[in-house]
Structure 1
Amino acid sequence: MNRPSAAMGAAEVLQIVRMLVAELRPGQRLTPDLDSHLERDLGLDSLARVELLTRLEHAAGVRLPTGTLATAETPRQLLAALRAAHPELAGLRTDIVLPETPGEAIEAPAQAATLVEVLEWHAAHSPQHVHIRLLHDDVEIATLTHDDLLQGARRIAAGLQQGGLAPGEAVAIMLPTSLEFFTSFFGAMLAGGVPVPMYPPTRPSQLEDHLRRQAGILDSCRAPVLISDADVRTVARLLATQSPSLKRVATVQELTDTAASSTSAAVRTTDLALLQYTSGSTGNPKGVMLSHANLLANIRAWSHTIGMSADDVTVSWLPLYHDMGLIAAWLGSLYNGCPLVLMSPLDFLSRPARWLWTIHRYRGSLSAGPNFAYELVLKHVEDAELAGLDLSCWRFAVNGAEPVSPDTIERFSERFAPYGLRRETLTPSYGLAENAVGLTVHLPGRGARIDRIAREPFFRDRKALAATASDTTTLRFVGCGQPLPGHELRVVDPAGTELPERHVGRLEFRGPSATSGYLRNPEETRKLWHGTWLDTGDLGYLADGELFVTGRVKDMIIRGGRNLYPYELEEAIGTLPGVRRGCVAVFGAADPTTASERLVAVVETRAKQDDERGTLQHAVEGLAIELLGVPLDEVVLAPPHSVLKTSSGKIRRVATRDLYLSGVLGRQRSVRMQLLRLAASGLTERASRTLSRGAALLWAGWAWMALVLLAVPVWLAVAALRRPAVGWRIGSHGARLLARLVGIRLDIRGRENLPLDAPCIVVANHASYLDGLIAVAALPRAFAFVAKRELQDNAIAYRFLQGLGAEFVERFAVQDSVDAAHRLATRARAGTALFYFAEGTFVGQPGLREFRLGAFLAACEARLPVVPVTIRGTRTVLPDETWRPRRGPITVSIAPPIPPQGTDWSAALALRDATRAEILAQCGEPDATT
C-alpha cells in the first residue's frame, strides 16, 4: 500500500480496470487496453470512475490530483497520472488546527445596510483576519483576508469602470472556485454593477445545452462584460456571438492591469445586489432580483436561528454560482466574520471523504449539501478511509436544495455516529432563490422529524393523515422546520384559500427576503405574486407549524383523476441493477386521445443486451404499479446523460420531457460538432441582428420622412390660423395619419370619461418627446397646453403651441406661485380646458416622477375636475437621449374625472395624490419617488 507509484505498471492498472468492468458488466466480454476510452468503450460513468480512481490510489499508495477525474479518459492517461502523483500525500496529516489570526473579537456589523458596508466594516475592524482558506487536493493553496478582499475588489472595480461599466449594469462572472471569484463579485458591486454568477461548462457531452442556457442568462441580464479565466475563455467568446449586449470578455488579470483607481459607487439598501438565476429544474432560468436589504434580511434571520457567529467555522465545497454556496456559505460567513474553508465541487466529487476530513482537520461546525452529497458519501467512502475521523465538531449539517430523503437521514446518522456525529446535527431545510436562499429550518439540536402518512388519503384526498403502526404502505416526508423570523408561510388550494394543517396544497410565502420579481420578465413576475404572497411552485403541508414538502407543482402528474408524484418512483428505479442512480426522470406527457397524461419514465442505463434490457423494463413497470397503483405508458431506456439536470443536480423533468416529445432524447453529439453548431448559430444570430438593425434604421428613416412631410403643412396651418379649436383638429388628423403611415398602433381607451363640453383639467404622465403629439391625436376636443416658458425661445415650437392656445409659465412658477395657479384657474373657469404634464419633464429611466402642484391648485381654485390620462409606450418608441424611433404600440387611457374636495392647499394635495395613484396604476412603470 505504501510502495512508490512508479512501481505500478501498465499490467496492474489494466487488471484493476478489467476487474471493475467485469463487476459492472457481468457476462459482457470487454477487453480493455491502455487506449480504451473509459466512458465510450468501457461504459464507466463519472461515479464508476470515482470508484476506479479510489482503487488505483489504494493499490499504489498515492493521492491522484483532483483533475484526474475530469481529464483522464484512458488507462494510459491514468497510468501517467499515477506516475506523476505524490506518494507523501497518501499519509496526509489529520491533526491540522485552524490557525488563529490576530485582532480583537469579531462582531457582525448589525448596522450595515449593504453588503459593501459589511465588507468595509470587517476590513476596517479586522483587516488581517483570514476570511477564506482555499484547498486543492487536500492542501491549503491560498488564503484571503478581509483587507485582501476589499483591495482586490477595488482593483477590479477600477478595471470595470475604465471599461465603461455604467451604474446598475450587470456583470457576468463565469469563474471556477477561486479567490478571484470573490474579488470579482465585490468588484462588480464597488463599480456600481450587479454581479451575475454563472457556472462554467462541465460535461463536454452537454456543452451545447449549457451554452444555450448561459446565453439565455446573458440575454436576460444584458451584461456588457463577462469575467472569465483563461480555461473557459474560448467558450466565453462563443457566448459573445449569442448575446448582442456582451461587448467584452475579460480575465481578472486583464481587469487589474490598470493604473486607474476606482471610484466607489453610491450603493443604497434598496439597490440590486445580486441577480440570481434560478436553476431551471422546471423551465427556463429566470433572473431573481435581490436587493442588499433582501440578502441581509435572510443572512441575519438565518444566522439568528442557527446561532451562527464568528466562533463557527464553515466548510463548503458547494458551487459559488448556486444560492446555498454563494449566500448561505460565503456571504453568511463574511457577515458573521467566521472563516470559510473552501474546496471545489470537483474535489468533493472525486473523493467524497475529503468533505469529512476537511471538517475534521479544520474543526468545521457548519457545512451543508444537497441530499445527493450525503448519498455520495454513503456510497463511495469506505470504512478504511475513516480511521481516526472525528466529526464531533460538526454541529449543523444542512440538507437542502433538493428533496430530502428520510432514508438518507437515517443511514447517514447511523453510519457516522461512531465518528462523533450526532443525529440532531443533520438538519433538513427548505429554501428557494426567490427568498434569497433559506425560508425554513428548525432550531439546532432538535434533529430531523420524519412523518409517516397514509398513502391512499394522500393521493385521493390530498390529506397527510398519520399512518397506523401496522400500515406497510406508508409514505414518508421529512420536516424542514419553521419559517425564519419575520417570514411567513402558508398552504393554499387552487383558488388561493388557505388550508388547515395536514392538507396538501401550494406553498406561498412572504417576508423581508422576498424578491421583487424576475428581471425583465413581467409575465413570470405576475405569476409569482398572489396579492402580498409569493408562489413557491412547490406543494406541501404543515404539521404543528412545520413544513413538509411533497413535490413540485409542475412535476405533478394527473392520471385518471389522481395526482401522482414522480420522486418516490424515481428513487426506487434508481436502486435497480443497471440503472444510473439519480438519472431517472418520470413525467407526464399530454395524451390528446384521452385528455389525460401519458406516464413516461426515462431511465439511464448502459445495458445493451436485449434480455438485460427486457428484465430492467419489467422491473421498472412493476415498481410503478406497486408504488403508484397505475402502470407506466412507456419506459425509455436511454444512454447516459439523456436526463437533463440543473447546475445543482436537480432533474429537469420539463426539459427532458420536451426532448422526449421532440424525438431527440438520448442523441449525443461530439464536442467538435457542438462547437460547430454553436459557431454557426452565432453567425446566424449576428446576421439576423444585422438585418434587424438595418430594417429598424430604414423604418426610422421612413418615420422621420413621414413626420417632416406632414409636419410642414400642419405647422403652417396651425401657426397661420391661430384658432386653437381648428388648429387642434388639424393637428389631431395629422398625428393620427402619421401613426397609420408608420405602422404605430394607437389604442385609445376610456374616451367616454372625457367631458366633451364641460370645463376640466387634464393631467398626464410624461415619458417622451412624443407625448404631446400623442395627446393631440388621442383627445377628441381642444386643450390648451400649459408649457414651460423656455419654449418661447424656440420659434418653431412657440408658434405652433401659440396656435393651439398654449399657456406659457415659468418652469417652477406653477408649483411655487399661487398667482400663476390663480391666473390659470380664471382661464379654466372661462371655458378653456387645460392640459398639464404634471411631472414637468422626463428622463430616460422608467418610473413615474413626483407631480407638481400647479394643475391641482388651479383645479381646486376653479372647482373643476381633473381627468387623469395615462400615456403608455412612448418611452419605448422614442426614448430620451435618442432621435431614433422604434416600432411599438402606444396606449392612451382616459380615467373618470376626479372632482376636488375643497379649495385649499390640503384639497390640492389630496387631488394630486389621487390623480397620481390612478396614473401609476396604469402606466406600467415603477414609482420613481420610492
Structure 2
Amino acid sequence: MRDRVDRGGHGRHHYRARRGDHGGDGYGAEPSEVTEEPTCPTVTQWLTAPVREAKYSFSPDGTSWQKTSHKDLAEQANGAASYFTLNGVRPGDRVGLIVEAGPNFIAAFFGAILIGAIPAPIATPPPFGSSNNYLLYLRNLIHVGQLDIIVCGETARSTADLATDALTARVLPVQGSFDKTAPVEPHGFANDDLCLIQFSSGSSGTNRAVHISHQNLAVNTQAIAHWLELGRGDSWATWLPHYHDMGLIGGILTPLVSSIDIMAMAPQTFIKNPAGWLSCFGEYEATVTACPNFALDFILRRVNSNMVLGHDYSRWKSLVCGAERVDHQTMTKFANRFGVQGFNIHTCTPAYGLAESTLAVTGKKLKSAPRSITVRASSLSPGSQVHLGPAGADEVRAIVSCGQPVDPNSCVWIEHDGHSVPEGVVGEVHVKAASVAVGYSSTSRESTNRFEGGKVNTGDAGFLLQGELFVVGRFGDSVKVRGRTFFSEDVDAVLFRLTGVDSHNLVSILGDTPSGPAILVVTEVREVSILTDIRNQLTTHFAGLTIQVAAVDKGSIMRTTSGKPRRRAMWDAYATDTTDGNSPPSTSLVEAAET
C-alpha cells in the first residue's frame, strides 16, 4: 500500500475539506494529524453483485436506445475475461483497447481487469481524416504506454496490424459481442497495483501514459459519487469519449460503481444531434452529466426552443462543467435559454480535475449557485495578489470558482517559486490526495518530477479565495510582457466578448518569438470584417505583443481527441514556418488573413 497522504507541509497555505462536507473552515489552518484513507469499494466490486434493475442504455443515433442491464454487462465482462485468457492475455499485460463506445467496450475494459491485465483505452479511427495520422498516433501510444496487446474490431484491424509491425505488441481481434458467461475467478491485486493506463495529451498534444492504481480509481470514484450525492434514483447521461478521463471515470466507472443508470452516446452522435442528448434529461429524466465548456457553446448555437418542446429539466441536478476554463457568460446563457424547461442555474457545477489526479479534484457544492468574481487582468501574474474590479470594465476578467476539494482527505494549495502563498495570490495549483496517479510510464517524454509522494504539480495557474479554487490558465499557454502575464484563455474570452467568435471557431496561442512575445489567433472564420475586428481588438487590449491573425479551413484547427485545442502543436508549426517571428506562415496550417 502506498504511503498515507500527508496533509501539507510546514507553513503551507492550503485548503483541506473536512470529512462529511465539501467546505468548512479548514482553509489556512495547519494540517491535521495524518489518518488512514477510508476503505472504498473497488471499481470491480459491482461485478460480483450487479443491481439487476440498473441499466446501461446506448443510443447510436440520439433517438433510439439499446438497453443492457448491469447484470448482463457483468456477464459480458466475464465473457471477455475468458476470451482474453483463451487467447494468451496474461496478468500484467498492458492491453490497448480500440473498441467502439457501448457495452462491448465496458466488457473488454473490465474483462482485462478481472484477469489482472491493465486496460489502456485508445481512440477509434476517426470517420474522416488521414489514416496515416492515426497510424502514427497509434504507434506513439503503443510506444509511450509500452503496450503488449491491441484489442480491436474490424474498423481498426488493418491499422493496428501496421502499427504493431516491428514492435513488440500483438493484435487480438474482436468480432461481435462477448459471450455472457459465469463469473471467472478474479485475479488478486493490491491497492497500489496498476489498474489503468490513461493517455493524456492536453494542449501540447504530447502523449503521456498516466499510471492509475486500483486505490486511485476507488478513492476518486467514491469521492465523485459522494460529492454529487449519487443514489438509486439518479441516471448519468454522457456523450464524452470513453477513452478519456472525464468520459471513462466520470461517465462510466463512477455510475457503474454507484449502481445507477447510464445513458450514453458517442461524441459523433452528440455532434449530429445535440437535442437528442438534451432529451436524456427532458424526456428520460437523467439527473447528472459532465461536459466541457465548449459543449455548452455548441448546444447554444445548434439547439433552438422548438427542438426541446415538452422537455422538463426540473429533475436535472448537476451539469458538471470542466476539462477547460469555465466561462460564466456561457453558463448564464445556457441557464437562461433552457430556464423555461425548468433548468436552474444551480444545476451548473463547475469543477477542476486532471488525469494526473485520476479525474476530479475540486467542484462546486450541489444546490448552490455558481460563483464568479471579476478581477483586474493586470493582477493575474504569478506571485501577484489578485485585485477585484467592476464587472464590464475594460481589462477586467470574470473567473468562475471551481469549488472545493471533492475528496475530504485531499489537500489543494498554491505555490510560487517553490513556496506556498496566501489566499488571493496567483501561483501553480498543487494537489495531494490518494487519487494522485502513480506517475507516467518511463517512456513518456514529460518529466516525472511532477509527482512526489502522492502529490502532483499541475502546471495550472490559479488562486484560492475563501476556500475555493479559481483556475486562471495553463502556464505553458502564457507569456509575460512588462511584468504582466497573459493567458491564452483570457485572449479567447476577450475576443468572444467583443467579436462574438467563440472557442469552436477560434483559438489563440501565445509564445515567444525573436521579435518578442506574440499572439497568434487561428480562426475558421474568413469574413474580412471579422478578421479586421479581431486584429483591432487584439491591438487595443494586448499592447506590447506582436499580433498575427490567420484564417484556416473548417476543421483545420488542431485538437486533441477530446476536443481541446492543441495550442503548443499549432505554435510549433507556426514557428517552424516563420523565419523572423512576424512573417505569416507558408504551410497549410494557417493562411495570413487579409487586413
User: What TM-score bracket applies, with the shorter chain setting the length?
Assistant: 0.7 to 0.9
Q: Which residue is 2:432 aligned to?
A: 510
- Asked if the contact 1:227/1:252 (under 8 Å) is kept, the reply is no
- Indicate whether 1:648 and 2:562 are aligned: yes
Match of 2:413 among 487, 490, 493: 490
1:764-783 equivalence runs, <5 A? none
Distance 2:451 2:382 in 1: 29
Matches of 1:181 and 1:114, distance apart in 2: 19
Q: Does 1:151 align with 2:60?
A: no
Query: Is the Cα contact below 8 Å between 1:540 and 1:550 reproduced in 2?
Result: yes
Find out whether 1:551 has 2:478 as its counterpart. no
Instruction: State which of 90, 97, 101 in structure 2 corresponds to 1:173.
Output: 97
Greater share of helix residues, 1 or 2? Answer: 1
Shift of 1:578: 11
Measure the CA separation in 2 of the matches of 1:328 and 1:261: 26
Selected match of 1:570 from 492, 497, 514: 492
1:597 pairs with one of 507, 517, 530 = 517
Provide the residue aligned with 1:387 in structure 2: 309
Letter in 1 for 2:138: Q
Q: CA deviation at 1:290?
A: 0.8
Of residues 124, 129, 138, the one that matches 1:214 is 138
Shift of 1:237: 2.7
- Secondary structure at 1:235's aligned position in 2? helix
Distance 1:532 1:313, change over 3 A: closer
> In the alignment, is residue 319 of structure 1 matched against residue 241 of structure 2?
yes
Deviates more, 1:322-331 or 1:226-235: 226-235
For 1:404, what is the secondary structure of its paired residue?
coil
Match 1:635 to one of 549, 567, 570: 549
Q: Is the Cα contact below 8 Å between 2:200 and 2:355 reproduced in 1?
A: yes
Name the TM-score, length of structure 1 as normaliser: 0.55
The one of 577, 588, 593 aligned to 1:667:
588
Task: State whether structure 2 residue 282 is matched by structure 1 residue 354.
Answer: no
CA contact (8 A) 1:601 1:632 kept: no
Cα distance in 2, alignment partners of residues 310 and 502 from structure 1: 40
Is 1:286 the counterpart of 2:241? The answer is no
Structure 2 counterpart of 1:226:
150
Within 5 Å, which residues of 2 pair with 1:374-523?
A: 374-459=296-381, 462-468=384-390, 471-484=393-406, 485-493=408-416, 495-521=417-443
Aligned partner of residue 161 in structure 2, secondary structure: helix
What CA distance in whole angstroms lies between the structure 2 residues aligned with 1:566 and 1:479? 18
1:185 paired with 2:105, answer: no
Q: Which amino acid aligns with 1:189?
A: I
Larger Rg: 1
Residue 9 of structure 2 corresponds to none
Deviation (angstroms), 1:249: 3.7
Matches within 5 A, 1:609-624: 612-613=527-528, 615-624=529-538
Q: What's the counterpart of residue 135 of structure 1?
A: 59
1:658 matched to 2:586? The reply is no
CA pair 207-589 structure 1, distance change in 2 beyond 3 A = farther
State the 1:343 CA deviation. 1.7
**1:153 aligned counterpart, secondary structure:** helix
Rounded to whole Å, the distance in 2 between the matches of 1:403 and 1:478 is 8
| Percentage identity across paired residues of the two chains | 27
Per the TM alignment, residue 139 of structure 1 is displaced from its structure 2 partner at its CA by: 4.3
**Matched residue, 1:367:** 289
Please report the RMSD computed on the Cα atoms of aligned residues, expressed in angstroms: 2.7
> Structure 2 matches for 1:782-821, cutoff 5 A?
none
Q: Distance in 1 between matches of 2:385 and 2:587?
A: 38
Following the alignment from structure 1 to structure 2, what is the Cα–Cα distance between the partners of residues 665 and 210? Answer: 24
Helix, strand or coil at the partner of 1:288:
strand
1:584 to 2:506 alignment: yes
The farther-off stretch of 201-210 and 441-450 is: 201-210
Query: Are 2:63 and 2:276, in contact at CA under 8 Å, matched by a contact in 1?
Result: no
Name stretches of at least 5 consecutive residues in structure 2 with no aligned partner: 1-37, 578-584, 590-595
For residues 246-265 of structure 1, the aligned pairs below 5 Å read 246-253=169-176, 264-265=186-187
| Range that drifts further, 182-191 or 637-646 | 637-646
What is the TM-score normalised by the length of structure 2? 0.85
Q: 1:117 aligns with which of 40, 45, 50?
A: 45
* 8 Å contact kept, 2:415–2:429: yes
Return the alpha-carbon distance in structure 2 between the equivalents of residues 443 and 376 of structure 1: 25
Deviation at residue 476 of structure 1 after TM alignment: 0.6
- Aligned runs of 1:302-341 on 2, under 5 Å? 302-341=224-263
Q: What CA distance in whole angstroms lies between the structure 2 residues aligned with 1:421 and 1:555?
A: 34
**8 Å CA contact 1:236, 1:249 repeated in 2:** no
Task: Kindly indicate whether the alpha-carbon contact (under 8 Å) linking 1:158 and 1:260 is maintained by their aligned counterparts in 2.
Answer: no
Q: What is the CA-CA distance between 1:378 and the residue it aligns to?
A: 0.9
The match for 2:167 is 244
Q: Give, in whole Å, the separation in 1 of the partners of 2:156 and 2:222.
A: 35
User: Is the Cα–Cα contact under 8 Å of residues 575 and 581 in structure 1 kept in the other structure?
Assistant: no
Which string of whole-angstrom CA distances, capped at 9 and with x for unpartnered residues, describes residues 544-586 of structure 1?
0101100001001123443111123234446788968524332
> How far apart, in 2, do the equivalents of 1:358 and 1:545 lie?
34
In structure 2, relative to structure 1, the CA distance for the partners of 1:262 and 1:389 (3 Å cut) is: closer
Partners in 2 of 1:396 and 1:471 — Cα distance? 31
- Residue identity matched to 1:208: N
Residue-by-residue CA offset, 1:840-875 (whole Å, 9 max, x unaligned): xxxxxxxxxxxxxxxxxxxxxxxxxxxxxxxxxxxx
Cα distance in 2, alignment partners of residues 459 and 300 from structure 1: 36
Cα contact 2:432–2:455 (8 A) shared by 1: yes
* Equivalent residue number for residue 197 of structure 2: 275
AA of the residue aligned to 2:409: G
Greater strand proportion? 2
Output the CA distance in 2 between the equivalents of 1:578 and 1:511: 40
Deviations 1:3-29 (A, max 9, x none): xxxxxxxxxxxxxxxxxxxxxxxxxxx
Alpha-carbon distance in 2 for matches of 1:512, 1:188: 23
Aligned residue identity for 2:247: G
Question: Separation in 2 of the partners of 1:176 and 1:133?
Answer: 15
In 2, Cα distance between equivalents of 1:345 and 1:460: 36
Seen in structure 2, the aligned counterparts of structure 1 residues 492 and 221 have a Cα distance that, compared at 3 Å, is same
The alpha-carbon deviation at position 499 of structure 1 amounts to 0.9
Distance change (3 Å), C-alpha of 1:453 and 1:572: closer
In structure 2, distance between residues paired with 1:306 and 1:650: 25
Letter of the aligned partner of 1:646 in structure 2? T
Tell me the SS of whatever aligns to 1:205.
coil
Counterpart code for 1:251: V
The question of 1:538 aligning with 2:466 is answered no
Whether contact under 8 Å (2:492, 2:502) holds in the other structure is: no
Aligned pair count reads 544
How far apart, CA to CA, are the structure 2 residues paired with 1:667 and 1:209? 16
Residue pair 1:639, 1:666 contacting (<8 A) in 2 also: no
Q: Which amino acid aligns with 1:188?
A: A
Q: Which has the higher contact order (CA 8 A, sep 6+)?
A: 2
Per-residue deviation, 1:221: 2.1
- Is the CA contact 2:374–2:391 (under 8 Å) kept in the aligned structure 1? no
Unaligned runs of 5+ in 1: 1-109, 669-930
How far is 1:527 from its partner?
2.5
Matches of 1:388 and 1:600, distance apart in 2: 44
Residues 359-385 of structure 1, C-alpha deviations (whole Å, 9 max, x = no match): 122211111211111111111111111
1:196 maps to 2:120: yes
Deviations 1:153-202 (A, max 9, x none): 12222222222222111111112222100000011111211011111122
Distance in structure 2 (CA, Å) of the matches to 1:470 and 1:491: 28
Tell me by how many angstroms 1:245 deviates: 2.1
- Counterpart Cα distance in 2 of 1:376 and 1:522: 33
Letter in 2 for 1:603: T
- Give yes or no for contact 1:133–1:140 (8 Å, CA) kept in 2: no
Q: For 1:260 and 1:162, locate their aligned partners in 2 and report how far apart those are by CA, in whole Å.
A: 15
